[in-house]
């Protein structure tokens, strides 16, 4: 007898839709679970005035990284910085990581040691301790999972849902570089595949390549905000692209936003390289991702404290929900922002 069952392709949902489907109806059983699924990290609180922050990320060969051009040392480094970025995005400090690895027989002990050496360098730089994990086999490629644990004072923890209309939207650093770096690497890979005798020409791209291969996490931003006595009203890290992250803040805060194209911070090397690859810089910043900068909102009362700070750029402001989430272009047009982000499925 033929059995009828519904088979829905995962691509019908996309990453965020799938998370909502699987976890949207989860109930918590413990009072210590202060915040479950839905922010950069879970928030766990016992007695006392500090909370524990916990977040986990998986990095899959062929999906998140390509070993044709990713040095193993950088891969280890990036897995750590990308993971602890979620703890800083909660306005906390990362202190421990758990590292699990699945690998096939294609990898040697020396190769794995190289990955762990990269992790060790990142842990040393960010003063994080690697305290455990699991190692197992994989049939096809390399999979790395990192759980990051951190802490923050309970009243310092910053969620995605606290932005209010008229709050100012701010971002650290500059954007688009990691995506442009990825495009350079993909292009060189194609050149190499068609003519293996060709040597890659990468000297001009050091900034964007570093942004892609060896990104830093913005631990310093959390420290600077504390010194300035600013507690953001909402915060998120930029892993999927500026558009996607702004939409998360607006969705969870119940606000709209006006983002000004001309304010989006850019590095000259990113901008020039994007142009040389026939890429639009704004698109790279909006949809590229992996910049691991912090995107946050502050109340108008904090404007004077931050307006001329060299580490931050004010790129827009929050509006009421009915006004929508818009990009105000350099030419003065308004377009609704759309999330492209990474399509893993
Ligand atoms: Mg995040």
CA atoms within 13 Å, Cβ hemisphere of 218: 27
Q: What is the pLDDT of residue 345?
A: 42
8 Å CB contact between 158 and 92: no
Tell me which DSSP letter residue 232 carries. -
Grouping H, G, I as helix, E, B as strand and the rest as coil, residue 230 is coil
Q: How far does the centroid of ligand 1 lie from the alpha carbon of residue 84, in Å? A: 9
8 Å CB contact between 84 and 92: no
Buried b / exposed e along 232-249 (16+ C-beta atoms within 10 A): bbbbbbbbbbbbbbbbbb
Q: What is the pLDDT of residue 23?
A: 87
Which tokens sit at 121? 């360098």
Q: How far does the centroid of ligand 1 lie from the alpha carbon of residue 199, in Å? A: 36
Q: How far does the centroid of ligand 1 lie from the alpha carbon of residue 38, in Å? A: 10
Q: How far does the centroid of ligand 1 lie from the alpha carbon of residue 294, in Å? A: 9
Instruction: Quote the CA–CA distance of 239 and 292 in Å, as a whole number.
Output: 6
334 pairs with which residues across the strands?
328
The CA-CA-CA angle for residues 143, 210, 276, to 5°, reads: 115
Q: What is the pLDDT of residue 275?
A: 96
Q: How far does the centroid of ligand 1 lie from the alpha carbon of residue 94, in Å? A: 14
Q: What is the pLDDT of residue 2?
A: 60
Can you list the residues of the chain whose pLDDT is less than 70? 1-4, 340-345
Structural domains of the chain sorted by starting position, each given as residue range(s) with its CATH number in brackets: 40-153 (3.30.1330.10), 168-336 (3.90.650.10)
Query: pTM of the prediction?
Result: 0.93
Q: For residue 75, what are the CA distances in angstroms to 28, 61, 150, 182?
A: 35, 10, 22, 14
DSSP of 263-315: GS---HHHHHHHHHTT--HHHHHHH------EEEEE-GGGHHHHTT-TTEEEE
Q: How far does the centroid of ligand 1 lie from the alpha carbon of residue 338, in Å? A: 18
Q: How far does the centroid of ligand 1 lie from the alpha carbon of residue 65, in Å? A: 18
> Comparing C-alpha atoms, which of 55, 180, 177, 192 is closest to residue 128?
55
8 Å CB contact between 51 and 151: yes
Q: For residue 89, what are the CA distances in angstroms to 38, 82, 145, 296?
A: 13, 11, 19, 9
Q: What is the pLDDT of residue 340?
A: 63
> Comparing C-alpha atoms, which of 106, 102, 107 is closest to residue 146?
102
Element (H, E) at 187: helix 177-194
* Tokens 């990581």 sit on residue: 97
Instruction: Quote the CA–CA distance of 121 and 221 in Å, as a whole number.
Output: 20
Q: What is the pLDDT of residue 22?
A: 85
Q: Which residues are close to ligand 1, an ion, with C-beta < 5 A? A: 40, 86, 237, 239
Q: What is the pLDDT of residue 5?
A: 80
Q: For residue range 164-222, what is the model confidence (pLDDT) as tens digits? A: 999 999 999 999 999 999 999 999 998 888 887 777 777 789 999 999 999 999 999 99
Q: How far does the centroid of ligand 1 lie from the alpha carbon of residue 69, in Å? A: 25
Q: How far does the centroid of ligand 1 lie from the alpha carbon of residue 302, in Å? A: 24
8 Å CB contact between 321 and 261: no
């Amino acid at each position: 007898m033929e059995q009828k069952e519904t088979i829905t392709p995962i691509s019908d949902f996309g990453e965020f839709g799938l998370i909502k489907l699987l976890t949207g109806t989860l109930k918590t059983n413990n009072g210590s679970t202060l915040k479950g699924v839905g922010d950069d990290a879970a928030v766990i609180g016992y007695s006392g005035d500090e909370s524990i922050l916990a977040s986990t990320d998986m990095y899959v060969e062929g999906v998140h990284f390509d070993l044709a051009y990713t040095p193993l040392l950088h891969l280890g480094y990036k897995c750590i910085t990308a993971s602890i970025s979620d703890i800083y995005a909660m306005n906390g400090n990362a202190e421990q990581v758990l590292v699990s690895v699945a690998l096939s027989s294609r990898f040697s002990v020396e190769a794995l040691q190289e990955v762990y050496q990269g992790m060790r360098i990142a842990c040393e730089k960010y003063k994080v301790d690697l305290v455990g994990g699991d190692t197992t086999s994989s049939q096809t490629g390399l999979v790395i999972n990192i759980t990051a644990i951190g802490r923050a004072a309970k009243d310092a923890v910053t969620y995605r849902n606290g932005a209010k209309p008229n709050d100012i939207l701010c971002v650290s650093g500059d954007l688009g570089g990691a995506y442009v770096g990825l495009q350079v690497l993909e292009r060189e890979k194609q050149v190499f595949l068609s003519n293996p005798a060709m040597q890659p020409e990468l000297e001009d791209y050091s900034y964007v390549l570093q942004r892609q291969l060896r990104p830093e996490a913005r631990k310093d931003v959390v420290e600077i905000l504390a010194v300035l006595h600013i507690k953001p009203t909402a915060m998120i890290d930029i892993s999927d692209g500026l558009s996607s992250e702004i939409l998360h803040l607006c969705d969870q805060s119940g606000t709209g936003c006006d983002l000004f194209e001309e304010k989006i911070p850019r590095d000259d090397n990113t901008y020039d390289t994007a142009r040389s690859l026939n890429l639009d810089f704004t698109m790279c910043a909006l949809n590229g991702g992996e910049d691991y900068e912090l995107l946050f909102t502050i109340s108008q009362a904090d404007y004077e404290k931050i307006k001329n700070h060299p580490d931050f750029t004010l790129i827009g402001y929050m509006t009421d929900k009915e006004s929508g989430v818009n990009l105000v272009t350099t030419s003065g047009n308004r377009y609704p922002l759309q999330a492209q982000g990474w399509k893993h499925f």
